[in-house]
Amino acid sequence: MQESRKRLRVVRTVAAVLGGVLAAGLVVGIAARLLMRAVLLAVDMPTSFSVGGTAAVLVAFAVLAVPAAATATATARPAIRRARRPLRCPEAARSHRERTGTPSGPEES
């Protein structure tokens, strides 16, 4: 049972990394292509791009996004876990309420 949970966690992490890579690669690749077009318009040059060149830019940005997405996924999980700790610790929740005036976490009994 424990082994299947570990595998599921690994599968979810890999899926998150790949999803992040695809999203980041597409968004940044499209933005780069639009900036290239803007520069060509600014210097009054022809602005025609080939489909193959555009696909190469998108693939290159997706491939370059792999290390960034893997690093972000690896470093985000511990940060998220640490961020939830005040919710579990009554002393931290009380300190948070005193500093901000807003409730956070379990109420004291």
pLDDT tens digits, 63-86:
877 777 667 766 666 655 555 555
Q: Which two tokens stand for residue 99?
A: 């500093």
Q: What is the pLDDT of residues 6-49, one digit of tens each?
A: 888 888 878 877 787 788 778 888 898 899 989 989 998 888 88
A 10 A CB-CB count for 40 gives: 14
Cα-based distances in Å from 31 to 11, 34, 91, 96: 30, 5, 47, 41
Average pLDDT over residues 49-66: 83
Euclidean distance between CA atoms 16 and 69, whole angstroms: 9
